[in-house]
Amino acid sequence: MTQRQTGHSPAPAHPQPSRARPVADSARSDILAAAAVLFYARGFTAVGMDDLRTEANVSLRRLYQLFPSKDLLIEEVLGIWRDAWSSGIDAQVQAAADPRQRLLAVYDFLAGWFTSEGFRGCAFINSFGEVGGASGRITTIVREQKKHFQDYLADLATELGAPPGLAPQLAILAEGAITTAAIAASSEPARQARAAAEVLIGVALSPAARD
């Protein structure tokens, strides 16, 4: 694609506000950013391509040029959500001092997320609920994301020297906290899940309680 920079804008008669066009690539990220926000807030089907055009300030032509179909756009948005989740949680986890604190930092991250503006639960769970089995493509991506999270917790648990049964339980706690917080519109589940995680970790590390 040819890049264009308007070196000198001769200030036309401008019947309409023909603003200086930004670099072509910014449209792509604008669209993705708008889609990530709108899809999360209202779901895939409730957001039309027209809404995205309006929110991202691009023409429909350009939108379809960059994303030939809504499905493709949805898939890219799922990737954005995955990256945002990974980097967000990892930042909080890596800031913790020891393996135990790193595991618990997961629930501290959740607590902050739950109180953030526009929190509406896990985007992947919502996506799964929305498309159900209609889109095997989306289902696969959601499944991979959850698998990735479980592996992530498993690594943290291994780092702590915990038996392999712990990580799935901690993952279940996290998932349950997310959906409970979303539906109840409360951040309390994060603290409750954290407290439960502390108990499970403590018991898992105590030799007497080994199974």
Partner DNA sequence: ACATGATGAGAACGAACGTTCTCGCACTCC
Partner DNA sequence: GGAGTGCGAGAACGTTCGTTCTCATCATGT
Does 17 bind DNA (CB under 7 A)? Our answer is yes
The footprint of a copy of itself on residues 119-138 (CB under 8 A) is 120-121, 124-134
Helix axis angle for 24-42 and 123-131, nearest 10°, is 70
Six-digit token string for 187: 């951040």
2 binds, among DNA, a copy of itself, none (CB under 5 to 8 A by kind): DNA
Cβ partners under 8 Å of residue 137, min gap 6:
71, 75
Binding mask 87-126 toward a copy of itself (x if CB under 8 A, else -) reads ---------------------------------xx--xxx
Amino acid 126 reads: N
Q: DSSP secondary-structure letter at 4? A: -
What length does the chain have? 211
Give the whole-angstrom CA distance, residue 14 versus residue 122. 45
Nearer to a copy of itself, 11 or 185 (CB): 185
Cα angle 93, 87, 90; round to 5: 10
The smaller minimum CB distance to a copy of itself, of residues 63 and 174, is found at 174
Residue (7 or 207) nearer to DNA, CB = 7
The site string for DNA over 58-77 (x = CB under 7 A, - otherwise) reads xxxxx-xx--xxxx------
Orientation angle between helical segments 166-184 and 188-205, nearest 10 degrees: 170
Stretch that binds DNA, among 41-49, 100-108, 122-130, 136-144 (CB under 7 A): 41-49
- Considering CB distances under 5 to 8 angstroms, the limit depending on partner class, which of a copy of itself, DNA, none binds residue 96? none
What contacts 22, CB < 8 A, 6 or more positions away? none
> Contact residues for DNA (CB under 7 A)?
1-2, 4, 6-7, 9-13, 16-21, 24, 27, 45-50, 58-62, 64-65, 68-71
